[in-house]
A and B are shown apart, each in its own frame.
Chain A
Amino acid sequence: MSALSPLVSHDQDSLRCPADIYRQLRDEGVRYAPEIDAYVVSRHDDVIRVLRDGKTFSSRNTVGRVVAADAPADPRALTPLLLMSDDPVHARRRSIVNRAFTPSKVAAWEPQVRQLAREHVERLRDLSDVDFVRDLAALLPVRVISMVLGVPLEDVAKFREWSEEITSSVGHHVGDEARRQQVQDEFTAYIGELLDRWDGVVDSSVLSQIAAAEKAGELTRHEGVRFTAELLVAGNITTTHHISSSIALLGHAKGIFEHLQEDPKLIQPFIEESLRLESPIQGFYRLAMADAEVGGSVIPEGARVFVLYGSANQDEAAWADCPHMRLDRPNAAAHVAFGKGAHACIGSALARLEGRVVIEQLVEQLQSFELIKPPSQVPYQASFVNHGPLSLPARLTFREGDNQ
């Protein structure tokens, strides 16, 4: 048994606040955890060292098991294009799909993302009971990614359904295999149709960039479809969790919401602190390709390694005054919530934008709000990788005179 054990067995109190477990892991240094058959890396500098050395620490098992990314058993399978590939294949692919996600391209989406966030928050007025997760955080990310991809509005409901099914099929081994194949074929056919309809103009939509890369012979059709599926899987539940966790922080910590209302410029640093303290991905796996020394311990060749971003983000050695949220950190954005190195999250700019404009809309439209459940009763995702609240029932007071 290792200190990680309560998290692996999904103990709710530990999942909600893993800080004590992470502290113990950092005190112990790199240790083997039999529960997950992996060496756990938890100190900030060790986490960075592993993430920066993709040659020694392969990404082929990022989600825990090795998925045959390049020659899958089912050639039509929607295996991620980037997540589990290593250089040089990864660098080549990433340099192609990167183009659609540069900070300046993402920044250009801000007015449309804000409009969507505004509509989603306005809709909360009409509900008799509001759950911030169910009624806001779970809805917005698919809507945003559909828009950024270039999925027509009338197809968004269908797209949401596929997105949920593809996400759950990647996350779990179980499930209805026939249904998985059906969704995979429908999704592939649908994206194929959108790519066929491409008018040859590269605009801000991600699909137009994929279509152009396909036309130029840089990506195959199937690679384009896999990348699209990967965006859904990587960007949905994580962004939902980020928004939910941010709202939980605002609801549970006294005075912060009012503070942001007084000075909305603090919303960006708040978002960085939310990402740091409540990282939507707490950790991913790597595979040691050679014996390697990390933090004074030896990780043997062939071993699985669990890299704990969530712990690195709470390491007192890297973060002054650590357990506390501080809206004046000079290095606020340097956290590891999006990973580091070659596999750093491609959608980080979009996630940050989405997180910020949602909170801006809440700050703008709400006079105040109150979370109905105390922090100790908020249910959390049963996973030690994905971290976020599942439900946040709330009482809202909208500002008077707005949007009536």
Chain B
Amino acid sequence: MTAKISVDRTACQRQGACAAHAPEIFSFDEAGELIFRSEIDAAETDVAEDAVFLCPTQAITLTQ
């Protein structure tokens, strides 16, 4: 079973809480743009849920 991640780009302020908490899912490219895996394994949902919560602008959505 996988879960899907989406990011509201208009809300994202590139503060990086997600990348700090779940670097295996979220990171920034050389231009400073957020990149992320839109599909994650069931085993990664806990860390992804925390990343969703930690986002200061609540820009991330996790759909299981």
Write the residues of chain A forming the contact surface with B, with a CB cutoff of 8 angstroms: 52, 54, 87, 90-91, 94-95, 98-99, 101-104, 340-342, 344, 349
Specify which chain A residues have a CB less than 8 angstroms from the CB of B29 in the assembled complex. Answer: none
What is the interface of chain A mostly: helix, strand, loop, or mixed?
Answer: helix
Contact of B58 among A101, A103, A344 (CB under 8 A): A344
Could you list some 23 contacts between A and B, CB below 8 A? A54-B57, A87-B13, A87-B56, A87-B57, A91-B13, A91-B15, A91-B56, A91-B57, A95-B54, A98-B17, A98-B53, A98-B56, A101-B53, A102-B50, A102-B54, A103-B46, A103-B50, A103-B53, A104-B47, A104-B49, A341-B57, A341-B58, A342-B11
Cβ of B8 < 8 Å from any Cβ of A?
Answer: yes
| Contact across chains for A349 and B53 when beta carbons are under 8 A apart | yes
| Contact across chains for B13 and A102 when beta carbons are under 8 A apart | no
Contact of B17 among A95, A103, A349 (CB under 8 A): A95
* Count, A-B residue pairs, CB within 8 A: 44
| Interface residues of B, count at CB 8 A | 15
Specify which chain B residues have a CB less than 8 angstroms from the CB of A340 in the assembled complex. Answer: 58
Bound-complex Cα distance A342 to B13 (A): 11
| Contact across chains for B11 and A52 when beta carbons are under 8 A apart | yes
Per-residue interface assignment for chain B, residues 31 to 58, with 1 indicating a CB less than 8 Å from any chain A CB and 0 otherwise: 0000000000000001101100110111
Contact of A95 among B10, B11, B56 (CB under 8 A): B56
Most B C-beta atoms less than 10 A away, residue of A91, A102, A344: A102
Bound-complex Cα distance A342 to B11 (A): 9
Specify which chain B residues have a CB less than 8 angstroms from the CB of A52 in the assembled complex. Answer: 8, 10-11
CB distance from A54 to the nearest CB of B (A): 8
Residue of B nearest to A343 (CB): B58
CB distance from A220 to the nearest CB of B (A): 19
Residue of A nearest to B46 (CB): A104
Specify which chain B residues have a CB less than 8 angstroms from the CB of A98 in the assembled complex. Answer: 17, 53-54, 56
Bound-complex Cα distance A104 to B46 (A): 7
Contact of B15 among A95, A99, A102, A344 (CB under 8 A): A95
Specify which chain B residues have a CB less than 8 angstroms from the CB of A102 in the assembled complex. Answer: 50, 53-54
Specify which chain A residues have a CB less than 8 angstroms from the CB of B58 in the assembled complex. Answer: 340-342, 344
